[in-house]
Amino acid sequence: MSRIRANKITNKIGTGAVELEKGAHLPIGMGITGAGGLNITGVITATSFSGSGANLTGIDATSIKDSGGNVKVQAQASGAVYTGIHTFNSDIDVDGHTNLDNINVAGVATFASAVNTGALTASTGTFSGNVSVGGTLTYEDVTNIDSVGLITAREGIRLADDKKIILGTGGDFEIYHDTSSRSGVRFTNPEFRLMAAGGGTGNIQFGVSNSATELSYSALMAEFKKGAECTLNFNGSPKLATSNTGITVTGTVAATAYTGDGSGLSGVSVGISTEALVKTNGQTASLDLTKDDHKVTATGTVTIDVTGGSEADSHTLRIVNSGIATVGFSTYFLFPSGGTPSLPTTSGAISIISFTVHRAGAVGVSTQLLSGASINFS
């Protein structure tokens, strides 16, 4: 190996630098120094470069590219544009405005002030303050919405057909609408249902049933039909129904009092109720004190007795002799001065006696009838 040792080397005429046509090899630890410059035509390859690169040209310092030459970070006057997925292992401090088309947060993201985003995807999110959504908030594949406060739906709540609003820990109260245009409210404890019947009929039904369809008569308690009758049921049987002329009642109507015109009623007993008895010698005429007027036609010896009666009821007794007749009275009859009236015995004689029930008979208590004097109409 040959060596040239010199303090200075210039070109042949001494006016410039030496041109190394075949290049130069510098041992490890050695270098090229001097106050002048180093002009190299070609490519400089090194494991690293140090020093100021301010005067270098042809270097793109505004972008960061991947191994394929694709720009991933591009500097702009207003900031930087990031393309693709960027992973930051520590905090990101953004002082100005940041536009993000998509952000995927696998962990926890904390925002101290307002965040304006396009699509925001996160596995979980915790907000200590208010969250304001100016547009439509759409939940995808959300099973439950848990709110510790009040949820206000300014434009209402819209559910698809066959979906329910269920209230109560055990689902005790339901509001629903199905594909058959049936809407209803259902209580499950105890079982009760209010239903607007389907098919656009406008009918409303009340009843007890687990069925989601229209109530059967066995479960129906009341039904109100649009433009038609309304019915009230007992144990599935209609008892009261309205019509364009009035109401129809099936069964007995009980009331403390009735008012109005009763001329159209049938089976009603109005005025004094009467009875007529015909008795012959040795028989007893037992007056039914549920009646008001009593007629006894007597022949021979006949005794007058009574059954029933209510205190303070007033009665009239008419006695007609058919032939010779002798009429006596049971001990229930009390007459003035304790005497029994002497009635005419001749055939065709007519007598009348009025009496009032002073005491109705009971076990161990005899009936007492306060009777007036007899009047002979013979």
Q: For position 231, what pLDDT does the model report?
A: 87
Q: Is residue 300 part of a domain?
A: yes
Q: Would 262 be classed as within a structural domain? A: no
**Domain contains 9:** no
Mark whether 245 and 324 lie in a shared domain.
no
**Cβ-based neighbours of 69, under 8 Å, separated by 6 or more:** none
Q: Which structural domain, as residue segments, surrounds residue 336? A: 274-376
* Dihedral, CA of residue 111, residue 155, residue 118 and residue 107, to nearest 10: 40
pLDDT of residue 150: 79
22 occurs within a structural domain: no
How, if at all, do strands 284-288 and 247-249 pair?
A: unpaired
Whether residues 244 and 293 share a domain: the answer is no
pLDDT of residue 189: 64
Say if CB 308 and CB 289 are below 8 A apart.
yes
The pLDDT value recorded for residue 294 is: 96
CB 335 within 8 A of CB 343: no
Q: Say yes or no: 245 and 189 in one domain.
A: yes
The domain total for the chain is: 2
The answer as to whether 57 is a domain residue is no
Q: What is the pLDDT of residue 199?
A: 55
| Residue 280 shares a structural domain with residue 335 | yes
Q: What is the pLDDT of residue 275?
A: 95
Nearest Cα to Cα of residue 228 among 203, 262, 208: 203
In a domain, 91, yes or no: no
Mean per-residue pLDDT pooled into runs of 10, the chain (378 residues) = 75 78 75 72 78 75 80 80 75 70 68 67 72 69 71 79 78 74 68 64 69 58 81 84 88 87 74 92 95 96 94 95 95 89 92 94 89 82
Rounded Cα–Cα distance for residues 221 and 194 (Å): 10
Helix (H) or strand (E) holding 192: strand 191-196
In a domain, 172, yes or no: yes
Alpha-carbon gap, residue 272 to 218, rounded angstroms: 45
CA torsion angle 110 114 116 121 (round to 10): 30
Same domain? 284 vs 225? no
**Are 245 and 283 contained in the same domain?**
no
The closest alpha carbon to 112, from 87, 129, 98, 99, belongs to: 129
Collapsing DSSP to helix, strand or coil, 336 comes out as helix
Q: Is residue 149 assigned to a domain? A: no
Q: How far apart (Å, rounded) are the C-alpha atoms in residues 276 and 274? A: 7
Q: Which of 249, 265, 283 is the last residue in one of the domains?
A: 249
For the purposes of burial, counting CB atoms within 10 Å of the CB of 125, is it exposed (0-12), middle (13-18) or buried (19 or more)? Answer: exposed
pLDDT reported for residue 210 = 55
